[in-house]
Each structure stands twice: as C-alpha cells, then as structure tokens.
Structure 1
Amino acid sequence: MEVCSVDVFRQAIPLTKPFKTALRTVTVAESVVVRIGTADGRAGWGEAPPTVVITGDSLQSIEAAIVHTFAPLLLGRSVHTYERLLQSVHQAMVGCTSAKAAVDMALYDLLSQSCGLPLYRFLGGDKESLETDFTVSVNAPEEMGEDAVQYVRSGFRTLKIKVGKDSIGTDIERIRHIRNLVGSDIKIRVDANQGWQPKEAIRSIRQMEDMGLDIELVEQPVKAPDIEGLKMVTDHVDTPVMADESVFSPAQAFHVIKCRAADMINIKLMKSGGIYKAQLINQMAEEFGIECMVGCMMESRIAATAAAHFAASKRNVTRIDLDTPLMMKQDPVMGGIRYEGPVITFPDLPGLGITDVAGFNRTEA
C-alpha cells in the first residue's frame, strides 16, 4: 500500500446555532480535509479544524504543514511502515498538532482498510457503540435552560454546560437553572474552558456541591499551564476534575498524572496529534487508574468518526463528547459513524467507513 497522492481542500459548514465558550464564538465550522491515496486505489480520510485559541493552528498553517512538510514524507512510502511514518510526521514539526492529526487518521484509515477491519476493531474493539453528551453553549441562564430542555427532549441523557465567561455567581445560576429544568436524572458536566482562577474555582465548585446540584465533573477550571492551580482545585473539592487544555502530549499527561493534578483526562485528537499519541496518553492514564474522555474541537463527521473509532477501541475511555457534527446545518460526509440521538454506531466497513466527502476538490500536494 504505497502512498501515491496527498490531496487537501477546505470546507466550511454553517452551524444551526452559534457555539459559545469562554474562549471563542463559532458560527461556521471550517476545516482542512485531507485525502491520502494509495497505488492500489484506496483512500484514507482525515480532517483538521483550526482552533487558534487552543491549538494555535489556523487554516493556512494546517494546509501548509500537510502540503509542504508532511506530504513529502509520505509519498512513495508504504502505509504498513506506519510506525516510521508517524514518527517522521511528529518529528518534522514542533506543534501543528491538528495537521498531524489529519494525516494520522488518514493513515490509520488506510491501515485498517488493508486489514479488512473497522478501525475501532483494529485498535482494540472494546465497544460496539457509544453515547455522547450534548454541549450547552454559554449564554444567559434562561437561553441555556431552553437549550438544555430541547437536548434532553431529543434523547440526550448527559449535558456539558459551558461556563467561565462571566462572574462566578452567573455561572452558578446557569447550572442551578438548568438542573431545576432537566431534573435529577440527567448528568451535568461543567466546562470552564480555563475561565476561573484556582481559588474562585474551589469556591464555586464547593458552592455547587453544597447546593446539591450533583455535578458529574468539572473540566479545565483554570489556565492550561497552571498545573499547580489545577492540583489545588482537585485537592480541595469532592467533584472530579478533568484536565483538557492542560494535556496535549504524553509528556504533559505524565506531568499531570505524576502530580495527581486531575482525576480524569480529556483526550482530543487535535491536541495529541492523532491516534498514535492518543493511545499513549490513554494507556499511561489507565496504568494509574485515571479514566479518559474523548472529545473534539469543532469537527465535522470526518474527524468525529476517527475520534469515535479510537474511543470505542479502548476500555479506559469511559466518557464521550463527540457532538459537534450534530450542530452543523449540512453533512458532507458519506459513510462514517451514524447518530441515533445520543447513540453513535459504526458501519460494518473497513477503516473509518467513509466512502466520500461532498465538495472534494482535488489539490494534489
């Protein structure tokens, strides 16, 4: 399976409703799509959305990295030497993890195709289906409450509530209002996206505990580099704390695990640079009894399919946050994962199961 082409194109899909966090507002989901072709006629698909405020990657930097740096490393090489290929990709550039992830998932797509297996089975095959949460964007408490009720009526049993943009009092009111509307049977996760200081995070989480709001977990309450602050929060609250932006690489995961700075880790392929490194993070976490969630950036069903296959393959991945394709007005992907409300299922096809992507315009590297 020799790589004979590396093609890229851009896609832009409007969202049904603006996606708002403490860090940004998104109205259109943009990404770079990569298609790696082999001499025997197979195609592997990957995708990388720009998330400048988190990964530092823009559309231009992702495209340039794939076309000018990674494609020359792949062309003429066998997919079956994926250890060497992926090591070369990760060593060729510092950072640019989103571009690395797009190439990585396309290579794993091809590799599992050559074995005749869906990727989740090739990687481990722990689960046959997944259940995702749905994210409630940060808005006024009343609007967030309306959104939460709508998602619950659509079948979602877990909500991820974005906070961290305004005052602590407003954040607590958001959670209280939503809890009152959805009842006690719905799981609520809180994601501050680095929006709190350590002491105010402790104060707000303790207050939510005292109010009986029954929060399943709090994700990334403090700034990403502040591992001491993250540990302070983890040590002083009963609610489990999850590291997200603090963990991109296996080395960062090791630091968080060694310090016991968080109870859980959110793995995103766009942070880790793809499945290759994501597996290392998950395995390290599992050895120390730290469960992982698999999440995503503002990705279409291309990258979400790759993330879902990885999540389904690993026992230690116990929580899923792969809802972004459901926020988009159009779906350009043919094949790939299917959504039945919150339930994600996989086609019985080799690789990612993606057969084509609408609007693909060939731009050969």
Structure 2
Amino acid sequence: MKITDIRLGYLSVPLKQPFKTALRTVNSVEDVIVKIETDTGHIGYGEAPPTGVITGDTTGAIIGAVEEHIRKRLIGLDLENFEEILLTLDKSLVHNTSTKAAVDIALYDLYGQMFNAPVYKLLGGYRKEIITDITISVDTPEKMAADSIDAVKLGYTTLKIKVGVDAEQDFRRMKAVREVVGYDVQLRIDANQGWKPKEAVRTLKAMEDSGLQVELVEQPVQAQDIEGLKFVTDQVSIPVMADESVFSPKDALMILHTRAADMINIKLMKCGGIHQALKICAMAEIYDVECMIGCMLEAKVSITAAVHLACAKKIITKIDLDGPVLCREDPVQGGAIFEHSRISLPDTAGLGFEHINGVVWKS
C-alpha cells in the first residue's frame, strides 16, 4: 500500500452557539481536511483546526506545510514501513503540530485498513466506549448556570466550566453552576492560562473553602510559566492539569519529572498526532500520572482519532471530546458514534470513515 497523493480540502461546520474561552470566541468549526490516497484504492482521512492562539497554526500555514514540505517526502512511501513514514513526517519541518497531526491521523487510518482492524485495537484495545464531559462556555454566571442545567438534562454527568476571564467573577460563575446542578454532577474548570499564580491559588482556595467540590483545574497559568504552574500545584488541594504547557513528549517529561502538575491533557493537535501522543502515554504510565484526552474545536475526523487513542490506553482516565456535539450538524459519515456523553467505536477497519460531506477540495 503505497502513498500516491495527498489532497487538501476546507470544511466549515456551524456551532450550536458561540464557544467562548479566556482566549477566543468561535462561531464555527473551520478545519483543513487531509486525504491520503494509495495505489490500492484505500483512502485515509485526517483533520487540522487552525487554532492560532494555541498552536500557532493558521489555515495558510497548514496548507503550506503539506504542499511545500510534507507531500513530496511521503509520496511513494509504503505503509508497510510505517515507522519510517512517521519519522519522515516528523522531520519534514519543525513545529506545525496540527498539520503533522492531520497527516498522522490519515496515516493511522490507512494503517488500520491495511490490517483490516480498528486503530484502537492495534494500539492496545483497552475498551471500545468512553464517557465525555461537555464544555460550558465562559459567560455571565446566570447564562452558565442555565447552560449547565441544559447539559445535565441531556445526561452529562461531568461539566467542564470555562473560566479565567476575571477571578472574582469566576468564583461567582462556579458558585452559580454548583447551586443549580447539585453535587451529583462533577465540575472541572479550565482557566485557559487566564490567571496569575497567586491569583489562581487565592481563587482555587476560595472554591475549596466554599465546598464547591472541583474535580480538577486545567492550565490555571500561562503555558510557559512552569514555576507558576508548580506553585499552584503545591499550594492547592484541587488537582492541577497541564494543558497548553505540554506540546511534546519532552514537555510532558519535564512536567512529570518536576511534578509541576498532577495530570496531563493530551491533545493530538498540540503534540503532532497519535505517534507522539503514545510516547506521552508511556511516560505518564511510568510516573503513574493520569491523563486526559482533549481537543480543540474540531469536527469528527480528528476527534475520532482521539477516541481511538482513549479507547486503547488505560492511562487516559479523563475524556474531553465534545467537539462534535457542539456542532449544529455532523458532516462525517462513519467514525466514532456520539450519543450525548457516550462515545463508542464500531469494529470497522482503520478509523472507520465512509465519506465527509461539504468538503471543498483544493485543486
């Protein structure tokens, strides 16, 4: 099974409502689709969201990286030499993690098809069903409380509350949500780098003292402030998760070795795909540190890849893969099956895609 071409397309999917964090507000998923064609007729699909404020990847950068650096190095390579292809992809250019992730996902899709097996079974096969949280966008306390009630009515038992805009208001946001959902629902919070270290400690301790029962806090301080991250981790009882601080296996090792955080959030778009994510999982297993599998705002192609990784590995204990359920429609035929919080995988080969509607293919 040799690679004969790599094609690119644009996919736009409107959201049910605006997605708001401390970093940005988004109204639709705008992704680049990667399609790898082979001499056997098999096709592998990948996806990359241009999330400039987090990964630095823009639509133009993703297109340019594939067309100018990756395509010419991969065409003609045989999927039987899978490790060689993945190493070639990684060395094709520096950074550009979302681009690499999209190509990596398409390659794993083909790899599974070559062995006529689902990817999650090839990677470990720990389970075939997971439960995700759902994100509550940052807004007024009243709006966030109302959105939380709606999510609980749909059967979600874990809510990821976006904060980090204003610490005092963040406390009121959390208090409002906890009051309406009660204590049978788990609340985890994501500050998206929005607090200063001492501000984070003060805010989180106030939440502890008020009995808000926060499951974990994700990336409370700036990504590069590892000392500040460790300061927060050492000062509060609420478990701290590193997200934007971890882009690579090397980043993960530094966080694990210094105990700068209690947990790690793995995102394929940050680390460059499944191949690199597996390295982070292996290190987390050695240090006995639980991982979350997370996502940007992505459609179901790349999310399905993340589901396969989560289903393969026991060390991934937290699931934040709500991207597709935030979308107004699902253009992807096949792949993971979403039933609100429950996500399951069919036993189809590769990642299980049949077709993607609405893609505008680049000539």
- Shorter-chain TM-score: which interval? over 0.9
Deviations 1:86-105 (A, max 9, x none): 11111121110000000000
In structure 2, distance between residues paired with 1:345 and 1:72: 36
How far does the alpha carbon of each residue in 1:175-195 deviate from its partner, in whole angstroms, 9 at most, with x for none?
011001001000000000000
What residue number does 1:54 align with? 54
Paired residue secondary structure (1:262): coil
Q: CA deviation at 1:361?
A: 4.3
How far residue 362 of structure 1 moved from its aligned partner, in angstroms, is: 4.2
Q: Is the 8 A contact 2:325 2:340 kept in 1?
A: no
In structure 2, the partner of 1:297 is 296
Aligned mates of 1:24, 1:13 — CA distance in 2: 17
| Counterpart in the other structure of 2:168 | 169
Aligned-pair CA distance for 1:5: 1.4
Residue 184 of structure 2 is matched in structure 1 by 185
5+ residue gaps, structure 2, are none
Q: Deviations over 1:143-167 (max 9, x none)?
A: 000000000000000000000012x
2:305 match: secondary structure: helix
Q: Which amino acid aligns with 2:324?
A: P
Residue by residue over 1:249-301, the C-alpha shift from the partner in whole angstroms, topping out at 9 and shown as x without a partner, is 01111111111000000000000000000000111011001100000001000
**1:303-359 CA deviation, whole Å, 9 max, x = no partner?**
100111011100100010000111111211010011112000111200100011112
Shift of 1:39: 0.6
Aligned to 1:9: 9
What SS class does the counterpart of residue 112 from structure 2 fall into? helix
Equivalent residues of 2:336, 2:346 under 8 A apart = yes
CA distance in 1, matches of 2:68, 2:355: 24
Partner secondary structure for residue 145 of structure 2: helix
Residue 35 of structure 2 aligns with which residue? Answer: 35
Aligned-residue identity in percent: 49
TM-score computed with the length of structure 1 as normaliser: 0.98
Q: Report SS of the residue matched to 2:265.
A: strand
1:287 counterpart residue number: 286
Distance 1:60 1:246 in 2: 25
Q: What CA distance in whole angstroms lies between the structure 2 residues aligned with 1:360 and 1:138?
A: 30
Give the aligned partner of residue 148 of structure 1. 148
Runs ≥4 in structure 1, deviation > 2 angstroms? 359-364
Counting only pairs closer than 5 Å after superposition, residues 253-332 of structure 1 correspond to structure 2 as: 253-332=252-331
- CA root-mean-square deviation: 0.8
* Aligned-partner Cα distance in 2 for 1:91–1:348: 33
Q: Which amino acid aligns with 1:128?
A: K
Task: Give the TM-score normalised by structure 2.
Answer: 0.99
**Equivalent pair of 2:37/2:44 in contact (CA under 8 Å):** yes
Task: Find the counterpart in structure 1 of residue 133 from structure 2.
Answer: 133
Partner residue in 1 for 2:114? 114
Measured after TM superposition, the shift of residue 63 of structure 1 is: 1.1
* 1:68 paired residue number: 68
State the distance in 1 between where 2:276 and 2:182 align: 39
Aligned to 2:19: 19
- In 1: Cα distance, 2:259 partner to 2:360 partner: 47
CA drift at 1:85: 1.2
Name the SS of the counterpart of 1:147 in structure 2. Answer: helix
The residue type equivalent to 2:76 in the other structure is: G
CA distance in 2 between partners of 1:361 and 1:122 (Å): 32
2:6 counterpart SS class = strand
1:360 to partner: Cα distance: 3.4
AA at the equivalent of 1:31: D
The corresponding residue for 2:79 is 79
